[in-house]
Amino acid sequence: MAKSGGFTLIELMIVVAIIGILAAAAIPSYQVYIAKTQINRAVSELSAYKAPFEKRAGSSGSVMNEDIGYTPSNLTTGSQGVDIGVLNADGSGQLQVTMGGKAHPNLAGLILSFERSPAGVWERLGSWTGTA
């Protein structure tokens, strides 16, 4: 009797088990990658409002969302009516958003913030640079 070609059931089960082990190791790494990219996206969206903030701060002394063209992201909580920019009397100010919406569940409530010194120098606040 001639042996037919192909895989046996045990060989297929071993392959499925190996794929399952690889997936179990890869999924947590992928989740961290997703969280990092969402933070980077939200930071870059927030950074885009620095120039309009500067322009408005220099001309009028007050900053409102409509003044800087703020459009809420699907990664942050808040709405058009929640001011993301605050300008103080001494020229210092702050841009701030809170992660939420469609962001990774581990990021919900994380506050991303840029602070402007009276001299006009921007710096990041918080520890959201490297990890999720």
Residue-range domain boundaries for the chain: 9-125
pTM score, whole prediction = 0.76
CA 1 to CA 4: how far, in whole Å? Answer: 9
CA 30 to CA 62: how far, in whole Å? Answer: 42
CA 111 to CA 92: how far, in whole Å? Answer: 19
Q: Residues of the chain whose pLDDT is less than 70?
A: 1-2, 60-61, 126-132
What is the CATH topology of the domain spanning 9-125? Glycoprotein, Type 4 Pilin (3.30.700)
Residues 67-95 pLDDT 10s: 888 888 899 887 777 778 888 888 888 89
Q: Which residues pair with 124 in a beta bridge?
A: 114
